[in-house]
Structure 1
Amino acid sequence: MTLLQFLLILRARYKVAALTFLVTVAATLFISLLLPKQYTATSSVVIDVRSPDPVAGMIMPGLATPAYMATQVDIITSDRVAQRVVKLLRMDESPAIREQWMDAMEGEGDLTTWLADLLKQKLEVRPSRESNVINIEFSGVEPGFVATVANAFAQAYIDVHLELKVTPARQSATWFEDQTKMVREKLEKAQTALSAFQQKSGIIATDERLDHETAKLNELSTRLTNVQAETSDSSSKRKSAGNSETLVEVMQSPMINMLKSDIARLEAKHHESNINLGVNHPQTKRTETELASLRRRLASETRQISESISTSYEVGKQKEKELLEAMESQKKRILELNKERDEIAVLKRDVEAAQHTFEGVSQRSAQTRLESLSAQTNIAILNPATMPTKHSRPRILLNVLISIFLGTLLGIAIAFMLELGSRRVRSSEDLIQAIDLPVLAVISSRPPQKIPKQLGPVAG
């Protein structure tokens, strides 16, 4: 269809199109004037996604995601929030509303759920595109009621959001309290086992006692070394006891040296007496007697020194044996202390692990307890709803403009439907399409024009 055909059809059917247009506009205007006036109240809430949590002290990464705002919109439009609005406004306690419910539902279902569904039908939630503000709109025929319900939805949303935050914290707090009791019992058992073992073994400071016992072992080892050296020296001297005069003790003994000096002096005197007085002289005999006495004393002193060396060797051997036994006993004691220290170290590690676990669980329990008692939320009412003074529906001007557009389209559509139902030839294109033959001439439907007199035929 060409534009010329379209215009020709409209010119032929303009009365039907105009009538349809006028009827549509008039009906829209009439219905808009008859519809009851609807009022809309808006309450705005702002969500703070930047401030840290007052208990945890950190910003939750999920708060800044687009899905978080969509979740908040779903919470506002949820049945839980709507039912809380019913409870806040005490709508379920109104006898008139209960009577309406009985008439509508015949007592079936739940009144609170029925009212919540009715409220949700007139609720509209619109989040801002470039901010964290959510607008809660509620429409109705009473200006005061719609403002009250809009504010109630904002408050109910804050309450439900706080419950959704606190309820898991309360459950966690209860669980952590049970865990705290369990880890406290484990800690007490570990401490009791450590104390019992310390009392049984008599060990208080294992490291200090072990150091003391180790020092005693070192002291015994030093003493054993000294005794072994003395015993070895005594053994050497004992082997050379056949020639006592060569012993150092004999050679360095003042008594023996004095006796040797006296013997030498008496021997010289005896030799002189033998020469001058004779062998049988009393003085010579006396000198011999003194000399024999001195030699006996020298032999006795030398023998005593040799015997003292043997005694020292025997005593050294005995001391060496005793020190070896003492060292073996001390080594066993140290090994027992090491074993006890290892057992105490294990028990101490058990106590430390239980203490660490108890502190961690106690800290987390305290934190969840604070979270369960929290009355703060990151949502605040930005602009409370006020009673509207102008109705929001019906929008007469908008409805008229829409009816003009729709009436125009409807009039054109009806004109074309009528044309298609009774097709007419209105142009040469229509004739060509109808008979599929070329058009030789077109006779105009306009009346012929009169020829001016001055342009008439010239006489021959």
Structure 2
Amino acid sequence: MNFQQLINAIKYRKVLVLQILLGVVVITSIVTLMLPKQYVARATVVVDQRTVDMLTGFVIPTQLIPGYMTTQANIAGSHVSARKVVEKLKIHENPELQEEFASSNYKYDIIDWVADLIVKKLDITPSREGNLMEVAYTAVDPQFAAIVANAFVDAYFDVSISLRAQPARSSADWFNAQLQPLRVQVEDAQSKLSDYQQKYGIVQVDDKLDIEAERLSVISRQLVENQASTDELKARKNLVTTKLKEGKSAEAIQEVLNSSLISNIKSELAQREANLAMLSKRLDRNHPLYKQAEAEVVSMQSKIASEIKTVQHGIDTELESSLKRDEFLAKALADQKAKVLELKKQHDVLAVLSHDVENAQKSYDAAMLRSVQTRMESQLDNTTNLALLNAAIPPETAEKPIFMLNFVVAVLVGGFLGIFIALIAELLDRKVRSVIDVNLTLGVPVLAILSANTDDAKKSKKDFRFWTSN
């Protein structure tokens, strides 16, 4: 069936199409007029999307804010909020609802059943770009619609406060339970630190360690210097011993040469020897003056020998003293090293104990801070970030059903339904209505057209000329 045949079928069955169209429109109009009027009451709530918590100062990420409004809308339309509305308005005490509930197979109580009913007529619309949220409720009674809408707003406020305060109360109780063991840990750590300080008499271990380390450095430096002096004395003694073994006079030793006392004695000896030489020319060896002068020379020579021995003995004594000082400084250095190592060990232990005290104190302070914060949050029973902008009022006009909308839809549906039924009827009862039907259906040429209707004759002639030319 081509388009022309479709038009012909609708044209010849236009009465059927119009009857179906009229029937659908009439039925829709009657049903629309018979349906109870639905009134929608709307309340507007302002949701303050705080980016910084007023207690903790925690910054809420910006990317989480858009989902916040959706979450609030879900809370406002939740079953918990609906239960609060039912309990507040005592809707479940309605006798008609009680009869319907008794006949139903609902496994929970009547409050949950009524809550599920009223939620179906609730519409929560959060603003996409702002902080507003609309709470709309539909009912046949405008006064009841406004009451329920406002009741949902109140229930939403209560649930929001409860959702915020209840976790805070639980957290506060948990933190309070943790404070006691944390306090015990702090006291134990401080007790261990104090006992260790009292045991070793430590007040300021860092200062004491610095002093002892400096003292160790001084002793080490003194030992190095004294060992250098000892090595020098050993070298001098070895030199003296070597020269004496070689048969050289002790007077050639540098220490003897550098001795001023020996130099003075030598000068005086030279004078005595000169005097003895003069006397030997004038006097006999047995002369008392000669004997006296000779005795003085011998005495001076004896003094020089004694002083040389004294110098040698001084080198030995000085070397022995230097060696003893080396031993003393080495022992002092070892003792000081042990003392410094012990102080370092005490410092390390003290650092560990101090670190334990610090960590325990930090844990206790953090728990105390969170305990105070959560306790304050749990006491915010009347504080919320919600505000009622517009309370719901009873609407003056019904929003449902919309007669004109239903009428337009009935016209469109009736028209399509009439055309569809007309096509079905045409397919079930085919008739020859034009030259096209004769040529396409029967497949025979048309010789003439007889019609009492002038317009039909003209139309058939046009169709006849078209098909005969082709």
Counterpart in 2 of 1:41? 41
Amino acid at match of 1:223: Q
Is it true that 1:224 corresponds to 2:230 in the alignment?
A: no
Equivalent position of 2:397 in the other structure: 390
Which residue of 1 is the match for residue 144 of structure 2? 145
Report the Cα distance in structure 2 between the residues aligned to 1:192 and 1:257, rounded to whole angstroms: 75
Moved more, 428-437 or 28-37: 428-437
Alignment partners' CA distance in 2, 1:294 and 1:106:
149
Q: Distance in 2 between matches of 1:417 and 1:356?
A: 86
Match of 1:134 in 2: 133
Query: 1:9 aligns to what?
Result: 13
Shift of 1:218: 2.5
Q: Secondary structure at the match of 1:147?
A: helix
1:450 aligns with: none
Give 1:166 shift. 4.7
| Equivalent in the alignment of 1:452 | none
1:334 aligns with 2:340: yes
- Shift, 1:117, TM fit: 1.8
Could you report, residue by residue, the CA deviation over 1:365-423 in whole angstroms, capped at 9, with x for unpaired residues? 55555555556555443332122222333444444444455555666677777778887
- The answer for the alignment partner of 1:74 in structure 2 is 74
**Residues 195-220 of structure 1, C-alpha deviations (whole Å, 9 max, x = no match):** 43333333443333333223222322
Shift of 1:116: 0.9
- Alpha-carbon RMSD across the aligned residues, in angstroms, is 4.0
Summarize the Cα distance change of 1:275–1:114 in structure 2 as closer, same or farther, 3 Å threshold.
same
| 1:324 aligned residue | 330
Identity level (%): 36
Match of 2:464 in 1: none
The 1-side partners of 2:422 and 2:296 are apart by 179
| Deviation readout 1:11-70 (Å, 9 max, x if unpaired) | 4x58xx44x6666555555554454443210112344557444344423344344x5554
**Any stretches of 5+ residues in structure 1 without a counterpart?**
448-460
Aligned CA distance change for structure 1 residues 405 and 200 (closer, same or farther; 3 Å): same
Shift of 1:113: 0.9
Which of these residues, 300, 304, 311, is aligned with residue 310 of structure 2?
304
Question: Is residue 2:109 matched to residue 1:103?
Answer: no
* Amino acid across the alignment from 2:337: K
Deviation track 1:221-272 (CA, whole Å, cap 9, x = no partner) reads: 3332343344334434444264443345544444434433333333333333
Q: Which residue of the partner structure matches residue 89 of structure 1?
A: 89
Distance verdict in 2 for CA 1:189–1:415, change over 3 Å: same
SS class of match (2:393):
coil
Moved more, 352-361 or 210-219: 352-361
The answer to whether the aligner puts 1:278 opposite 2:272 as a matched pair is no
Q: Secondary structure of the equivalent of 1:2?
A: helix
Shift of 1:325: 1.8
CA distance in 2 between counterparts of 1:61 and 1:168 reads: 23
> Residue 395 of structure 2: SS of its match in structure 1?
coil
Partners of 2:294 and 2:284 in 1: CA distance: 12
Q: Deviations over 1:98-124 (max 9, x none)?
A: x44542323973132122122113222
Structure 2 regions of 5+ residues with no counterpart?
455-470
Deviates more, 1:334-343 or 1:179-188: 179-188
How many angstroms does 1:436 deviate by? Answer: 7.2
1:237/1:247 contact within 8 Å kept: no
Change in Cα spacing, 1:233 to 1:135, as seen in structure 2 (3 Å) is closer
8 Å CA contact retained: 2:84, 2:155: yes
- Kindly tell me: are residues 63 and 161 of structure 1, through their superposed partners in 2, closer, same or farther at Cα, counting changes over 3 Å? farther
**CA displacement at 1:327 relative to structure 2:** 1.7
Taking structure 1 as reference, are residues 57 and 287 closer, same or farther at Cα in structure 2, changes over 3 Å only? Answer: same
Partner of 1:125: 124
Number of residue pairs matched? 438
| 8 Å Cα contact 1:263-1:294 kept in structure 2 | yes
Counterpart of 1:267 in structure 2 is: 273
So what's the TM-score if we normalise by structure 2? 0.75
Q: Classify 1:40/1:244 alpha carbon distance in 2 versus 1 (closer, same or farther; 3 Å).
A: same
Tell me if structure 2 keeps the 8 A contact 1:62–1:68.
no
Aligned counterpart, 1:235: 234
Distance in 2 (alpha carbons) for counterparts of 1:146 and 1:410: 37
- The separation in 2 between residues aligned to 1:386 and 1:307, in whole angstroms, is 126
Alignment of 1:189-208 (within 5 A): 189-208=188-207
Q: Aligned partners of 1:414, 1:287: CA distance in 2, in Å?
A: 176
Contact kept, 8 Å, 2:51 with 2:61, in 1: the verdict is no
What TM-score does the superposition give when structure 1 sets the normalisation length? 0.77
State which of 370, 377, 388 in structure 2 corresponds to 1:381: 388
Q: Aligned AA for 1:310? A: D
Query: Could you tell me how far apart the structure 2 residues matched to 1:4 and 1:421 are?
Result: 15
1:150 is displaced (CA, Å) by: 0.8
Q: The residue matched to 1:80 in structure 2 has which SS?
A: helix
Q: Which moved more, 1:421-430 or 1:172-181?
A: 421-430
